[in-house]
Every structure is written in structure tokens, then in C-alpha cells.
Amino acid sequence: MGVNSKTITIEDLRRHAVARSLFKPTSLPQAIQRLGFVQADPIRAPARAQDLTLRHRVKDYRAGDLERRYARLAVEEDCLVNYGFLPREHLKLMHPRSAKRSWDAKTRAQAAEIQAFVQAHGACHPREIQAEFQLGATRNAWGGSSNATTHLLDAMHYRGLLRVQQREQGQRVYSAVVHEADPRSPHEKAQALLELVLAKYAPLPSRSLGQLCSLLGYGAPHLRSELRQTLAMARKTWPQAEVEGQTWYWPEGENPSSKRWKLDEAARLLAPFDPIVWDRLRFERFWGWAYRFEAYTPAPKRKLGYYALPLLWRGEVIGWGNVSATGGRLQAQLGYVQGYPPPDPAFAKALEQELSKLACFLGLEEPG
């Protein structure tokens, strides 16, 4: 397996996780390629999750750059372990995608009509399709009522009948698509997908690797059996080590104890879905406290805040910040695991620089 597991410590794994993910800022296409997948979320507090993730990894990135440049990039809005953005080469691994629930004859006919309409008219906003096809309302996943056209467009996108061409004020604009076929076998596709999530989230404890394999059933439901078989083989053959009673995995060719994994002095407020903090099990193993995303938690029950951003410094997540814009100026409310900020003057300087960068990213005045 290439690495003497006796030399690996939890400190090595933590440094490895942070340093490999926070690579030197590069171009937007290269950053997405290197990440392999960028999770999306519509909440802006203070910006969308995809923007908050990319700002640490793309040189001179500004909030909204991905949406503004999306139509010119070889990138797709689609599914992997959840919804987000990924290079088209990865999307080939998941199409043709078979949804869990099959359509009835009426829905198939409606989808065929909408697909023909989009093919004939080019990129279409949902309101244009709604004006042409009055499908009424339908029950959504939360038990409420939603627009049936919007619901069907989502389902057609998931099945690969449409793609997101661009967004207008946050709404998807759809166009026709024919996904390029991938010649690899189902087992080869499953292996590539599992290697993709390992490369994004490594190093991973065994339970988290299993969770990600299960979540890949969202993007590739038709490969569930092959994914389980691939996972069983990977657990025997991938680089791994037993550390503090848990088996950890990482990509071939990497060594968590290598001196190449170096931490810098920067402070960073991370997105709730940033690859460094996404795995909550790993988070607690690394930093000894539980981070929770509380945007959907009733306000009286929140402990960290509506959209708390984990605060990383010197390889440690030492607290969190809730950031907003008031009167065109950045406002940040910070909390610390120890109850107070590190007394080191270097932290105060690093935090000041981070808040200045965040204000620039958002197009705001710096905090006063």
C-alpha cells in the first residue's frame, strides 16, 4: 500500500487534509478540475456555498464569477453525491442515468413534448415553457404544492434530457443536450466515481468512505451494485492506515506523513460544504468539536448561527463566523471553541487580512 501505517498520526492526516485541499490559487477551470466537484447551495449568507468554496482556490475570485462564466466553461450543473458543478468528463460516467422512479405514459409524453419544444426553440427559461405547457401543480418532496412544469424540468435534467445552459437571476435556463457516451464498463465507471470522491475528500475514515459510496447512488443510481463491489475491493487495495482505532484511506501516490503537506499562516472562513469540513465525522476526529449547519434549524435551537462559517487557522478549526453586509460594509460575528480568540498577535493579523479579502470578494467595504 506504499506507506508504513505506523508512521501515520491523526496530526498527519489533519495536515494532509487541509494542505491538499488548499492548493495554490489557480484559474477557475483548473480549480474545478482539481476539485472534481463543487457542491452548490442557493443560500447567500454572505454568498453561495460554491462561491465561498472557490474563493480560496481561484485567484482574484469574486462572488458570482462561476455563474457569470458558466456558459463558457466545460462544466455542468448536475449531481454527484449531491447537487453542484463538475467537469463534463465526469458527467459521462453517470449518463445515461436511470431514476429510481419511472414515469407513467402521461409524464413521458409531456417530457417528450417539452424536449421537442426546447430543441426547436433553443435555450428556454422555465417561464417560456410554462407559458406553452400548462401542467398545473404537483405535490413536492416536502408534502407541499409546487409548479408541475418546474418539477418536470428538474426531472428531465436529472435524467439527462436537458442541461442547464445558464442562470438568469438564479433561475435555470435549459437547453437540449445529448450526453457523450463513455466506453468504459459499469465497473470501470464505478471505480472512477469512487476515486473521484476519494480525491476530493481524502483522507477519509472508513465510515465516511462508505457514506460517500452510498451518496454516489444519487448521481449514478444505476451503478449501485457496481459501486458496492468496487468499495469492497477498494477497502482491500487502496492506500490506508489504522489510526486511533479507525481505518483511513487516501489516493494512490500520496503520503499523509510527507513533509510536502505544509500549512500556511492564513486564516480562512470556510463554506459549510467546503471539502475540508464537509465530513462531520472527520471534523470531530480532527478538531474535537461538532460543527453543525443550522440554516434549517429553528432559530431558538441554533448554537452557532444561521450560516456559521468554520474558521480555520494553522490547520485548526478554532471557531466560526456569521458574516453579513450592512450598509455596504462587511459585518462579522465570530465565536471561538475556547470562548476567546488565540492571544497570538499573528492570528489578529491573519483574521484582519481574511476579513479584508472577504469584503473584496463580496464587493463591500472592509469592516470598520
Q: CB of 358 within 8 A of CB of 269?
A: yes
Write down which residue in 159, 176, 193 finishes a domain: 176
Helix (H, G, I), strand (E, B) or coil at 93: helix
Q: Which amino acid does the sequence have at 101?
A: R
Helix (H, G, I), strand (E, B) or coil at 145: strand
Task: Please report whether residue 37 resides in a domain.
Answer: no
Task: Please report whether residue 274 resides in a domain.
Answer: yes
Q: What are phi and psi of 66, to 5 degrees?
A: -65, -45
- 305: confidence class by pLDDT, cuts 50, 70, 90: very high
Task: Please report whether residue 34 resides in a domain.
Answer: no
Distance CA 97, CA 195 (A): 19
Q: CB of 85 within 8 A of CB of 34?
A: no
Has residue 140 got a pLDDT over 70? Answer: no
Higher-confidence residue of 101 and 210: namely 210
Task: Please report whether residue 155 resides in a domain.
Answer: yes
- 142: confidence class by pLDDT, cuts 50, 70, 90: very low
Give the mean pLDDT of 133-158: 73
The C-alpha cell that represents 233 in the structure block: 475491493
Task: Please report whether residue 327 resides in a domain.
Answer: yes
Q: Which amino acid does the sequence have at 242?
A: E
Write down which residue in 144, 176, 208 finishes a domain: 176
pLDDT at 100: 83
pLDDT at 98: 86
Q: Model confidence over 226-269: pLDDT tens digits?
A: 999 999 999 999 999 999 999 999 999 999 999 999 999 999 99
* Neighbouring C-beta atoms of residue 13, cutoff 10 Å: 26
Q: CB of 317 within 8 A of CB of 283?
A: yes
Task: Please report whether residue 323 resides in a domain.
Answer: yes
Give the mean pLDDT of 282-294: 97
Has residue 173 got a pLDDT over 60? Answer: yes
List Cβ neighbours of 276 (8 Å cut-off, separation of 6 or more).
17, 18, 21, 22, 270, 310, 312
Give the mean pLDDT of 346-353: 98
Task: Please report whether residue 287 resides in a domain.
Answer: yes
Has residue 143 got a pLDDT over 70? Answer: no
Q: Quote the domain boundaries for residue 108.
A: 97-176
Has residue 177 got a pLDDT over 60? Answer: yes
pLDDT at 2: 47
The CATH number of residue 142's host domain is 1.10.10.10
Task: Please report whether residue 307 resides in a domain.
Answer: yes
Write down which residue in 160, 176, 192 finishes a domain: 176
Distance CA 317, CA 291 (A): 10
Distance CA 361, CA 364 (A): 8
The C-alpha cell that represents 51 in the structure block: 462561491
Question: In total, how many domains does the chain have?
Answer: 2
Q: CB of 56 within 8 A of CB of 87?
A: no
